[in-house]
A and B are shown apart, each in its own frame.
Chain A
């Protein structure tokens, strides 16, 4: 019962924050120099259609009314019309969202698990050759510049040896020929491996280092001595008693480093031409397609907030001391 109140509170929180972001964006847009009409409305539309759009978006009304229309539009799913695609923005982003979610969640989960596992080993064998190797590798991975690392991977593994495709999510030939579901799945995975590897290694570094230092401080705690006094084997102490406590800060850090992960995700999508929201945003900005850019941004903001909520809940579930 206590838990439900906690979850409810959190929901209200993120909803409020999202609303604030929505509002701030509106104000910034109004503040910008230039003609808002040309920003929001496709310049290639006929004058009648243009007028129709202006009315729909409330661009001819005073600011506060425009704001209400803006909010109303947003929550009713009307996000405007993309200049470039000539289609409603909402269809476009709904198309791209699954790709981003797929890449993002897979890489984060893999990196988190690997980071916890390797960090645990590194801490346990502290000072040994293995520990030094893991720590230094993690440090290097942590400080790699994503576009550069991605380009390197592309160059060596895709261009030079041709093991992987140069980008995209599918090989169109395969899909037009209507291959089996299995083959299609393999195709997607094949395309996903390089971007996945990029994101995986970058994040592995920080999770490993964090788990390692967390583990080292947990191993100094008194309850580890108690566990030993009970006659437990070192393996059980490490994996059961120490690791569970040590993993908690790592989970929080997944939430905190979400901002960093999303930046990295957008860059990776761009380089590997992975059709996700990040790439769409960059594309929209380069092409002055403001409705699309705005929608991508708001979607990313929503994803960030929801992801934070999930991490908070997960942490509360795992650490019995946190119950509001």
Chain B
């Protein structure tokens, strides 16, 4: 059952340089209980998608076109009042702990309890405390730390607390935005395992955003690779990892893993920053692409289906399936 379906979504920011299309005409869907990862470098628009799914876009941003279907509603048309009903309850967000995501003057337990009572105002104090204890156990924070303040928590513990806060009302969909960035590698590993375990146990749908493809691969079943506001490739974890097709995906993977492949992987010495102004129907990677066909920026390449689950937004030459 599809829980989330995004169609032709474009989101723009009004800046002094004009309209920047941070998300350019993307479409994807998520099945109930499954996990989908968004990978890409900084500025590729993945965080913007995350924010849009929570209705937390900043003031100078706006949804330019497209639809976000969730549980039978179109979120792109939601009013602030409607958002308040589902934020935390149906869709929740796991923020980066490195951010100042917890209010320094309130105890951690209090803040998580607030997440519970906002949507369940009639719950008795005992019930709230029970739920709090369950949550703390789930994320493996000792109960004795419940009444501590955020500055008394370590980085890893803060991240767990934020996870607990997101799960407070057992939401249907959880969006995790770079939850393990800035954590030590070992702690990172623990948190990722934690998230996977919880997702399976609660049968939650998960969208996981990261710039680190290795991290995404550990947690998610399906992956979308993004560049400059566009999805350039999407498929199952195995497909994207074992047989990446889009030149950008290959470049990304080449920076991490050594692929035993007899293909010459082109890694440009210096990547040009993509131009995000205006709505573009062409491929924004073309300026850095090694492909012989240079028309992609204007002539819209299309989605090329590689398998039933795997597709890439490219031209035949780029994929290397055709000689120029």
- Are the C-beta atoms of B149 and A320 separated by less than 8 Å? yes
State whether A229 and B56 are in contact (beta carbons under 8 Å apart), knowing that A245-B104, A319-B105, A320-B151 are contacts in the complex: yes
List which A185-243 residues lie within 8 A (CB) of chain B: 221-223, 225-233, 241
In angstroms, how far is the closest chain B Cβ from the Cβ of A242? 9
Chain B: which residue is nearest A244 at the CB level? B105
In angstroms, how far is the closest chain B Cβ from the Cβ of A170? 44
Q: Does A321 contact B (CB under 8 A)?
A: yes
What separation, in Å, do the CA atoms of A165 and B151 have in the docked complex? 54
State whether A222 and B101 are in contact (beta carbons under 8 Å apart), knowing that A230-B87, A230-B115, A232-B118 are contacts in the complex: yes
- Are the C-beta atoms of B95 and A226 separated by less than 8 Å? yes
- Are the C-beta atoms of A229 and B105 separated by less than 8 Å? no
In angstroms, how far is the closest chain B Cβ from the Cβ of A233? 6
List which A269-324 residues lie within 8 A (CB) of chain B: 318-321
- Are the C-beta atoms of B92 and A318 separated by less than 8 Å? no
Interface residues on B, range: 20 to 34
Complex contacts, B165 vs chain A, CB 8 Å: 226, 230
State whether A232 and B149 are in contact (beta carbons under 8 Å apart), knowing that A223-B101, A226-B101 are contacts in the complex: no
Chain A interface helix/strand/loop/mixed = helix
List which B95-128 residues lie within 8 A (CB) of chain A: 95, 99-106, 114-115, 118-119
Q: Does B88 contact A (CB under 8 A)?
A: yes
List which B136-172 residues lie within 8 A (CB) of chain A: 149, 151, 162, 165
State whether A229 and B92 are in contact (beta carbons under 8 Å apart), knowing that A320-B151, A321-B149 are contacts in the complex: yes
In angstroms, how far is the closest chain B Cβ from the Cβ of A225? 6
Complex contacts, B228 vs chain A, CB 8 Å: none
Complex contacts, B85 vs chain A, CB 8 Å: 231
- Are the C-beta atoms of A229 and B88 separated by less than 8 Å? yes
What separation, in Å, do the CA atoms of A230 and B92 have in the docked complex? 7
Q: Does B300 contact A (CB under 8 A)?
A: no
- Are the C-beta atoms of A320 and B56 separated by less than 8 Å? no
Complex contacts, A230 vs chain B, CB 8 Å: 87-88, 114-115, 118, 165
Chain B: which residue is nearest A227 at the CB level? B103
- Are the C-beta atoms of B100 and A229 separated by less than 8 Å? no
Complex contacts, A319 vs chain B, CB 8 Å: 104-105
What separation, in Å, do the CA atoms of A112 and B261 have in the docked complex? 70
- Are the C-beta atoms of B87 and A223 separated by less than 8 Å? no
- Are the C-beta atoms of A221 and B118 separated by less than 8 Å? no
What separation, in Å, do the CA atoms of A225 and B88 have in the docked complex? 12
Q: Does B294 contact A (CB under 8 A)?
A: no
Complex contacts, A227 vs chain B, CB 8 Å: 103
In this complex, the member of B85, B105, B151, B162 whose beta carbon has the largest number of chain A beta carbons within 10 angstroms is: B105
Q: Does B310 contact A (CB under 8 A)?
A: no
- Are the C-beta atoms of A321 and B95 separated by less than 8 Å? no
- Are the C-beta atoms of B115 and A245 separated by less than 8 Å? no
State whether A231 and B88 are in contact (beta carbons under 8 Å apart), knowing that A226-B95, A321-B149, A321-B151 are contacts in the complex: yes
Complex contacts, B106 vs chain A, CB 8 Å: 241, 244
- Are the C-beta atoms of B86 and A231 separated by less than 8 Å? yes
What separation, in Å, do the CA atoms of A225 and B166 have in the docked complex? 13
- Are the C-beta atoms of B105 and A232 separated by less than 8 Å? no
Complex contacts, A221 vs chain B, CB 8 Å: 100
Chain A: which residue is nearest B91 at the CB level? A229
In this complex, the member of A225, A226, A241, A321 whose beta carbon has the largest number of chain B beta carbons within 10 angstroms is: A226
State whether A245 and B99 are in contact (beta carbons under 8 Å apart), knowing that A229-B88, A230-B88, A231-B88 are contacts in the complex: no
In angstroms, how far is the closest chain B Cβ from the Cβ of A239? 13
- Are the C-beta atoms of A223 and B100 separated by less than 8 Å? yes
What separation, in Å, do the CA atoms of A221 and B100 have in the docked complex? 7
- Are the C-beta atoms of A222 and B54 separated by less than 8 Å? no
Chain A: which residue is nearest B84 at the CB level? A231
In this complex, the member of B88, B103, B162 whose beta carbon has the largest number of chain A beta carbons within 10 angstroms is: B103
- Are the C-beta atoms of B118 and A231 separated by less than 8 Å? yes
Q: Does B89 contact A (CB under 8 A)?
A: yes
- Are the C-beta atoms of A225 and B95 separated by less than 8 Å? yes
What separation, in Å, do the CA atoms of A318 and B99 have in the docked complex? 22
- Are the C-beta atoms of A223 and B84 separated by less than 8 Å? no
What separation, in Å, do the CA atoms of A217 and B215 have in the docked complex? 34
Q: Does B93 contact A (CB under 8 A)?
A: yes
What separation, in Å, do the CA atoms of A253 and B242 have in the docked complex? 61
Complex contacts, A248 vs chain B, CB 8 Å: 105
A223, A233, A244: which contacts B102 (Cβ < 8 A)? A223
What separation, in Å, do the CA atoms of A318 and B103 have in the docked complex? 13
- Are the C-beta atoms of A231 and B89 separated by less than 8 Å? yes
- Are the C-beta atoms of A241 and B89 separated by less than 8 Å? no
- Are the C-beta atoms of A245 and B105 separated by less than 8 Å? yes
In angstroms, how far is the closest chain A Cβ from the Cβ of B83? 8
Complex contacts, A228 vs chain B, CB 8 Å: 56, 87
Complex contacts, B89 vs chain A, CB 8 Å: 231
What separation, in Å, do the CA atoms of A83 and B84 have in the docked complex? 72
A-B contact sample (11 more), CB < 8 A, given A229-B56, A229-B92 = A225-B56, A226-B103, A229-B93, A231-B84, A231-B88, A232-B118, A241-B103, A244-B106, A318-B105, A320-B149, A321-B149
Q: What are 8 contact pairs spanning A and B, CB under 8 A?
A: A222-B101, A229-B54, A229-B56, A229-B92, A231-B86, A232-B84, A232-B114, A244-B106
In the A-B complex, the 4 residue pairs with the closest CB atoms = A231-B88, A231-B87, A222-B99, A223-B103
